[in-house]
Copies of this chain bind each other. A is one copy, B any other.
Amino acid sequence: MTVDLVIFTVNLEQLKVLLVKRAEQPFAGLWSIPGGFLESAESLEDAAIRVMQEKTGVKEIYLEQLYTFGAPARDPRARVVTVVYFALIPWQNLPQPTSKKISDLGWHAVEQLPELAFDHREILNYATSRLRAKASYSNIAYGLLPAHFRLSELQKMYEIISARELDKRNFRKRMLATGLLEETGQKDSAGAHRPAMLYLFKKREFVLLD
């Protein structure tokens, strides 16, 4: 029994996923999604949080059980059933990568994945399609944004996840109509142009829209 994680983030206008380069056989040298064995006294979710923290240093994140994969031959060594979770992290919340081991842990754009170990390609395809489906009918994007954000950043997030453009006025209207957002009162003058109002999600939890 293992617990594996598909950890998504968005950076440089791309949806990315965290991969680990395998040092050992089988599939040595190929990339895989991070995971670990379930320990005796921990729940599945606790195991997912533990793996998450080991790999990213981050603990408080959006986490959701995705699917359990258990084909008899998915691991050539032995029968391994894996419960896969999917997680979202705002890029801004990630600690800077340490200079060591920089090569065995990396963020990869889901559109340009390297060759993957085990059935991890299938798992990633499934996770990506689920994320995209969720984006269309929920506030899921909050898991990818820092606490305070501009509406334009939120819109960009939805556009990247769903891979299509959205109308600015309709987007703002619909988002504000959900009542999930709140003005912070602060303006972000980091950009070189007109400062934008910063918003936050009143509740950082999953809600279906409309």
Contacts and interface: CB of A to CB of B under 8 A. Distances in A.
Interface stretch (A37-45, A53-61, A174-182): A37-45
A191 interface: no
Among A41, A43, A65, A68, the most chain B Cβ lie within 10 Å of the Cβ of A68
A81 B81 CA distance: 10
Nearest to A70: B44
B65 A68 contact: yes
A72 B42 CA distance: 6
Contact of A1 (B40, B41, B44, B81): B81
A41 B1 CA distance: 15
How many copies of this chain does the complex contain?
Answer: 2
A68 B85 CA distance: 11
Interface residues of A, number: 16
A208 to B, nearest CB: 9
B79 A40 contact: yes
A188 to B, nearest CB: 37
A132 to B, nearest CB: 13
A7 interface: no
Contacts of A28: none
Contacts of A65: 67-68
Contacts of A81: 1, 38, 44, 81, 83
Interface in A18-51: 38, 40-44
The 3 A-B residue pairs with the shortest CB-CB distance in the complex, in nearest-first order: A44-B70, A68-B68, A68-B83
